[in-house]
Every structure is written in C-alpha cells, then in structure tokens.
C-alpha cells in the first residue's frame, strides 16, 4: 500500500511520541524519517531497527563546551541529539565563515542529512562525512540546495561511528566535485507527488508503536473529551 510523505511523517512523529520523545523533538525525528524514506534512504527501516533500543530512553542533552574537540554522542541516536546540534551550528555559522565539528560514537550518520539539507538555504556549502559500524565511509556535499554523494574508499580521518560536519558560507576552493547521486529540489518535489511504498512488516511495527498514543476508549476518557463523538451530541 502506498502512503504520502505526510502520512509517513505523522505516523513516525506519533511513534516517537509514544517512545517518550518530548514535544518538538518528536516532530524533528518524524521529519528525519519521512525525508529519508521520501528520498530512498530507507527511513522506515532505520526507525524499525531503532524502536527497541530507543523506546523510553530519550536523552537530548549535548555539551557544547568546545567545538575544537570531539563531541561524544555515546552511541545515542541522532534522532535525539541531532536537531539540537544542527540548530546550534546554524546559529554560530552566522558569525563565522566556517564551522566544523567532529562527533564520535555517533551511529547512523545519514540521519543528519535531512537536518543539514533543511538549513542549506542559508549556507551555500555543507559537508557531511561519516563512517558506519562497518567502517564504510561516505561523504555528502550540499551545494546550493543540491546533494552530491561520494563514496570514500581511502579514508584516514574517520573511525567507526564518527561523523564530521562542515558548514561554509561560500563555495570557493572546493576543488573537483563528483556528480554522483545528485538530489535536487526538483527531484524532491517529484518524489512528493508519488506514493511511498513501505514494507508491510516494518510499517506494521511502526504503526503499532504510533497507535499507543491513542487514549483507550472508556467512560472516563470520554468525560475528559477523548473521541470524536457526534456533532449533534
């Protein structure tokens, strides 16, 4: 069965709410998952695999003492800490020509991509480098609202589950930029016009989690305003 971007977003947001994410954080996390799924980065599968380890374990605290050293995510998912960090980087990028941060013990670096794309309208160049648990490295460059993917075969600066983010105001001295797997605003708009087909077993688990946010029907819940009722009541 096909779903719209909005249906994926709302269901994911409700699932995060059921898992203990506070207001605002649940919306950001839902957006990340929906954006990734929309653009063929397996957002639904990522959420499915995180439900058990993330449920009722929300921790969005980040220490920004010194960006010149590593920020340690301590294997906490970006879905909890990513939005706060990107908001902070965006705020200080307004005063600096270049902002860079390295994050260690940070699984699933791809989860940063929707957040960075979202702020790219204010920054001409953003770079996301990350290495997964298998030590496979990837680079995503966001240049003037276009996302370009590069596979890093010979990488020396990143270790397992390390992420590096670079934000620059200008695009000078970038060198040669490969043209692999480009995502543009037009491609995203085309994706929005299509249905998103989720694997049934994955979607069922996410929907079950999301449905925990519904108030069970009872006399007490109806007295408190739950349920649609009849407009003529």
Q: Which tops the pLDDT comparison, 69 or 35?
A: 35
Q: Which residues partner with 168 through β-bridges?
A: 98, 125
State the pLDDT at residue 171.
Answer: 65
Share of the chain above pLDDT 70, in %: 81
Average confidence score pLDDT of the chain:
85
Mean pLDDT of 110-122: 93
Condensed to tens digits (0 to 9), the pLDDT of residues 25-68 reads 999 999 999 999 999 999 999 999 999 999 999 999 887 766 66
State the pLDDT at residue 232.
Answer: 42
State the pLDDT at residue 227.
Answer: 46
Mean pLDDT of 154-177: 72
pLDDT at residue 74 tops 80: yes
**Does residue 102 contact residue 129 with C-beta atoms inside 8 Å?**
no
Q: What is the DSSP string of 164-192?
A: EEEEES--TT-------S-B-HHHHHHHH
The region of weakest confidence among 37-51, 76-90, 210-224 is 210-224
State the pLDDT at residue 129.
Answer: 93
Q: What is the DSSP letter of 115?
A: H
Mean pLDDT of 110-126: 92
Q: Which tops the pLDDT comparison, 105 or 170?
A: 105
Q: What is the DSSP letter of 154?
A: S
């Amino acid at each position: 069965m096909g779903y719209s971007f909005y249906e994926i977003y709302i269901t994911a947001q409700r699932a995060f709410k059921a898992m203990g994410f506070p207001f605002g954080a649940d919306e950001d996390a839902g957006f990340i998952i929906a954006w990734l799924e929309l653009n063929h980065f397996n957002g639904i599968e990522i959420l499915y695999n995180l439900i058990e380890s993330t449920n009722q374990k929300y921790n969005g605290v980040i220490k920004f003492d010194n960006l010149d050293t590593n920020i340690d995510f301590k294997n906490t998912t970006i879905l909890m800490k990513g939005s706060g960090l990107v908001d902070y980087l965006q705020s200080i990028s307004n005063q600096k020509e270049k902002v860079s941060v390295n994050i260690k013990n940070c699984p699933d670096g791809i989860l940063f991509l929707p957040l960075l794309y979202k702020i790219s309208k204010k920054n001409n160049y953003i770079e996301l480098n990350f290495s997964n648990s298998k030590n496979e490295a990837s680079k995503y460059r966001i240049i003037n609202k276009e996302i370009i993917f590069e596979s890093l075969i010979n990488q020396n600066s990143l270790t397992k589950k390390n992420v590096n983010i670079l934000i620059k105001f200008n695009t000078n001295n970038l060198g040669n930029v490969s043209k692999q797997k480009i995502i543009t605003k037009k491609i995203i708009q085309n994706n929005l016009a299509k249905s998103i087909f989720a694997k049934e077993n994955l979607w069922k688990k996410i929907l079950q989690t999301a449905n925990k946010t519904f108030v069970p029907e009872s006399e007490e819940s109806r007295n408190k305003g739950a349920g649609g009722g009849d407009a003529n009541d």
